[in-house]
Structure 1
Amino acid sequence: MSNWADLTTGKRIKHLRGSDLTQQGLAEAAGVSLALVQKAEQDRGELSVGSLLKLANALKTDVAVILGQQSPRRGMNRDDRAALRHLSDAVHESALGQWDGVGDPSTLAELTEVRDLAWAAYWASDTAKVSSLASKVLMEGQVRLNSTTGTERARLALVLASTYRVAASCANGFGHRDLALSALTSAKLLAKEAADPVMSALLESTLSWIYLRGAKMPRAVSVAERAALAIEPSFSRAPRPELLAYGRLMISAAVAASRREDERAADDYISQALAAAARLGRDEKLYGTHFGPTATKAEAVGIQVALKNYGRALQLADQPDMKKLPKSMSKVARNRYRLDVALAQCEAKLYDRAADTLTEVALDAPEWVRHQALPGVIGKRLAKVSVARVRNISELIGVPLIA
C-alpha cells in the first residue's frame, strides 16, 4: 500500500472498508445513503464533519485516519500511547480495588489540588501530565475513600468523580470510548454517593460528548436534554452551579442537534444556553467545566458552521467581545473555536484569512491538531487555492493536511 497520507480520502475509505464490507453495508452501518458512500470513495464532493464522524464510527477508526492525518496502525505518538495506557491502568485498578503499593495517601486538600492541576493539563492538551496527575488522585483517593466517613467521604467522592471525568474526557478525545465509558461509570457511582446533582449533570454532559464522538447523535441529544430537564433552574433564583450545569447541557444538546442538521432544535438549545450564560453574567469554571457568555458564543459559532450557516457564524465571530478572547479561555476551547472560524472563512472564500487562522492554531497547539477532524477538512478547501500554503502549514504541525 502507498504511504497512507499520499492516498486520497476516497481510497482511504475504500481500504478501511475492505472486501468484507460492501458499500451498502458501510452506508447502513454509518446511517448514511449509499450515494454518499459511493461519492466519498470516488472523491466527488466534500464530506461534512457529521458524515465523517458517522463513517469513522462505522469503520471503527478515527476521523483523522480517514483524512490521512494519522495512519490506521500508528495513530497516536509513543508518548500519548504510554500516557493512555498508564491512565487506563489507574482507572481500572482504582475502581477494582487494586491498591497494593499505595502507602500513606495524600490529604483531601492535596488530592483536590492535584485534581485541579489534572484539569488544567487537560485544557492545555498535555496528555502525559493528565495521566500522571489523574492516576495519582485515583489510586490514592480510593485508598483514602476506603477509610473515611461522613462529610469528608462525600467531598472526597466528588474529587474522585471529577478526576474519573477528566480521565474519560482525555480518553474520548483520542477515540478510546471503552476507557471513557469505564471511567464515567465509576464517576457516576461516586457522584450518586455524594448526592451532588450538579456533578451528576456534568457527567451526563460528558456522556453526551462520548455519544457524539461515536456518531450516536440521537442519544447524544437525548442524554443532554434529559439531564437538563432534571436540573433545570428557576432563572430568577437559581444557584450559580446549577446555571452552569444546565447551560453546559444545553450546549451539548445543541452541538449534537447541529450534527444531525436539526437547525430548529439546535437554535432552541443554544438560545437556552445563552439565556443561562447571560444570567450567570461571566465565564466561570466548576469541576473542570467552563461556561459563560464567551464560552457559549464560541460554541454557537461552531454550531452554525455545522449547520452550514457560514455567514451567520462569521457574524457571531465578528462581535467585539469575540475579537479578543479572554485569557481564562483554555487552549483547547480557544483553538477549537478558531478552527470553526477558519472553516467558515473558507466557505466564504476568505482563503487568506482562513489560512492565517489555521496557522495560528497550528502554532498554538500542534499536538492537539493531530487528533482533530477540522484541520484536514480546512486543508483540503485551502488546497484548491494554494497547495503550497497548505503544505507549509502541514510542516508546522508535522501532520499532512492534504495528499
Structure 2
Amino acid sequence: MSNWADLTNGKRIKHLRGSDLTQQGLADAAGVSLALVQKAEQDRGELSVGSLLRLASALKTDVAVILGQQTPRRGMSRDTRAALRRLSDAVHDSALGDWDGIEEPSTLAELSTAHDRVCATYWRGEYGELSELIAKVLLEGSVRYGQATGYERERLGSVLTSTYQFASSTAMLLGQRDLALSALTSARHLEENSGDALLVAVTESTLSWIHLRSAKVRQAVAVAERAASRIEPSFSKSPRPQLLMYGRLMIAAAVAASRRDDPVSADDYLSQAHAAAARLGRDEMLYGTHFGPTFANTEAVGIAVALGNHGKALKLAARTELPRSMPKLARNRYKLDVALAQCEAKLYDRAADTLIEVGRDAPEWVKHQALPGVIGKRLAKVSTARVRNISELIGVPLIA
C-alpha cells in the first residue's frame, strides 16, 4: 500500500471498507445513500462534515484516518477496529465516570465472573468478545465501586485494577500505546488503595512489557527489576503467589536484557526465574498471568533466539513439552520464536509449517505480531511463491 497520507480520501475509504463490506453495506451502516458512497470512493465532489462523521462511525475509525492525518493499523479487520473503539470508550468513559446505563450495575459476584471471562478470552485472542467484557466490568464496576464500602469496595478495586491491566495489554497488542498507558494509569490509581503488593507487581510487569514493545529496553529492565526486589521471596518459606509473581518479573527482566544484547544479565535473571519455577513445581495462573516450569522453559527459548543462539534455542525447544492447559497466545508466541530459530538454522520447511500452525490457531492475534513478517522475509529468500501461499493460508501479508 502507498503512503497513507498520499492516498486520496476516496481510496482511503475504499481501503477501510475492505472486501468484507460492500458499498451498499457501508451506505446502510452509515445511513447515507449508495450514490454518496460511490461518489466518495471515486473522489467526486466534497464530503460534508456530517457525511464524514457518519462514514467514519460506520467504518469504526476516526475522521482523521479518512483524511489521512492518522494511519490505520495495518491488517486490522473491521471487527477488530470496532473492538478497539469499544475498548477505548470503556477505558476513558469509566475513568471519567461516564456510564449511561439505566438499570442497576452488576453485583460484585457478577462482575467477578465477568472478570474471569476477561482473563480466559484475552488468552484466546478473541478481541470482539474481550472488548465487550472489559467494557462491562469497567463501566458497571466503576459505578458500583463508587457506591461500595468495606470489603466490597476492596474486592471491586482488585477486579477493576486487573481488568484495566487486561485492557492495557490488549491495547498494546493492537498497537495503541497511548491507550495502553491510559488504562495502566487507571489501574495504578486503584491499586494504591488495595494494599495488595502482588497486584502492584502485575501492573509493573505490564508496564515493563509496554516499555519493551516501545523499544524502551532500559526502562523495561529497570521496572521489572525494581518490582521484583519489592517482593523478593525466601524460596524455602514464601507463599506460592509470591514465587509466581517474582518468577514472572524475573522473566520480564531477562527478556528485556536479551533485547539489549546483555547475555550475562539475561542469564542471571533467567536463573532466578527457573529457581522460582522449580520451587512452584507446576504451572499456575494468578491475576491473569501465568508462570511455572513450562513458562520458564518457553521464555528461555525466546531469550536464546534474541541473543542469536539459535542452536541452543532449538535444543531447548526439543526438550520442552507444551501442556494442553497452556494459554493459546502464550503457546503461539513461543512457536513464533521456534519458527524464527528454525529459519536461522535453515530448516525452512519446518519454519513454514510452524508459521502456518500459528496462523491457523490464532488468526486474529497473529496479524498484530511483528515476527511473522520477519520470518516471511527469511523464507522469501528461498521461495517467494511459498511465502505468498502461506500469506493466503493465514491471512497475513508477509511480503510486499
Normalising TM by the smaller chain, what interval? 0.7 to 0.9
User: Conserved in 1, the CA contact under 8 Å of 2:73 and 2:175?
Assistant: no
Matched residue, 1:353: 350
Tell me which structure has the larger Cα radius of gyration.
2
Alignment-derived partner of residue 340 in structure 2:
343
- In 1, the alpha carbon distance for the partners of 2:273 and 2:150 equals 35
Partner Cα distance (2:390, 2:313) in 1: 24
CA displacement 1:332-385 (0-9 Å, x = unmatched): 111110010011011111111111111111111122111111111111111222
Count residues with an aligned counterpart: 334
Deviation at 1:3, TM superposition (A): 9.1
Q: Output the CA distance in 1 between the equivalents of 2:3 and 2:192.
A: 49
Q: Is contact 2:198–2:242 with CA below 8 Å preserved after alignment?
A: yes
CA distance in 2: counterparts of 1:2 and 1:220, whole angstroms: 34
Q: Which has the higher contact order (CA 8 A, sep 6+)?
A: 1
Letter in 2 for 1:261: D
Summarize the Cα distance change of 1:246–1:257 in structure 2 as closer, same or farther, 3 Å threshold: same
Query: Does structure 2 conserve the Cα–Cα contact (< 8 Å) formed by 1:102 and 1:140?
Result: no
Which one of the candidate residues 325, 329, 335 is aligned to 1:328? 325
Change (3 A) 1:311 1:136: same
User: What is the alpha-carbon distance in structure 1 between the residues aligned to residue 282 and residue 189 of structure 2?
Assistant: 31
8 Å CA contact 1:367–1:397 kept in 2: the answer is no
Task: State the alpha-carbon separation in 2 of the partners of residues 294 and 116 from structure 1.
Answer: 22
Q: CA RMSD in A?
A: 1.5
**2:365 equivalent in structure 1:** 368
2-structure distance, mates of 1:212, 1:250: 14
Give the aligned residue type for 2:194.
Answer: A
Q: Measure, in 1, the Cα distance between the counterparts of 2:95 and 2:399.
A: 43
2:214 corresponds to 1:214: yes
Is the CA contact (8 Å cut-off) linking 1:351 and 1:382 kept in structure 2?
yes
Q: Is 1:247 aligned to residue 244 of structure 2? A: no
- Cα separation, 2, equivalents of 1:149 and 1:265: 45
Q: Which string of whole-angstrom CA distances, capped at 9 and with x for unpartnered residues, describes residues 159-194 of structure 1?
A: 010000000000011121111111111111211211
Query: For structure 1, which segment, 380-389 or 337-346, has the greater mean C-alpha deviation from structure 2 after superposition?
Result: 380-389
1:2–1:145 CA distance, 2 compared to 1 (3 A): closer
Distance in 2 (CA, whole Å) between partners of 1:349 and 1:303 is 19
Q: Aligned partner of 1:334: which letter?
A: R
- CA distance in 1 between partners of 2:250 and 2:102 (Å): 40
SS in 2 for 1:290: strand
Please state how far the C-alpha of 1:99 moved relative to its aligned partner: 2.4
Superposition map of 1:265-276 within 5 A? 265-276=265-276
Secondary structure in structure 2 of the residue aligned to 1:193: coil
List alignment gaps of at least 5 residues for structure 1. 5-70
Conserved? CA contact 2:161–2:187, under 8 Å: yes
The one-letter code sitting in structure 2 at the alignment partner of 1:363 is: R
- Taking structure 2 as the reference length, what is the TM-score of the superposition? 0.81
Output aligned runs, 1:1-400, within 5 Å: 73-75=72-74, 76-319=76-319, 322-323=320-321, 325-400=322-397
What is the identity, as a one-letter code, of the residue corresponding to 2:200?
A: S
Identity, in percent, stands at 69
Match of 2:83, SS state, is helix
1:272-311 deviations in Å (ceiling 9; x for gaps): 1111111111100111101111011111100110111101
Are the aligned partners of 1:175 and 1:213 in contact in 2 as well (CA < 8 Å)?
no
Partner amino acid, structure 1, of 2:91: V
Secondary structure in 2 aligned to 1:121?
Answer: helix
Assess, with a 3 A threshold, how the Cα gap between structure 1 residues 89 and 312 changes in structure 2: closer, same or farther. Answer: same
Give TM-score, length-normalised by structure 1.
0.80
Report if aligned partners of 1:310, 1:344 keep a CA contact under 8 Å in 2: yes
Please tell me whether the aligned partners of residues 204 and 224 of structure 1 are also in contact (alpha carbons under 8 angstroms): yes
Structure 1: which 4+ aligned runs deviate by more than 6 Å?
none
Aligned-partner Cα distance in 2 for 1:119–1:131: 12
Code of the residue aligned with 2:381 in structure 1: it is: K
Match of 1:39 in 2: none
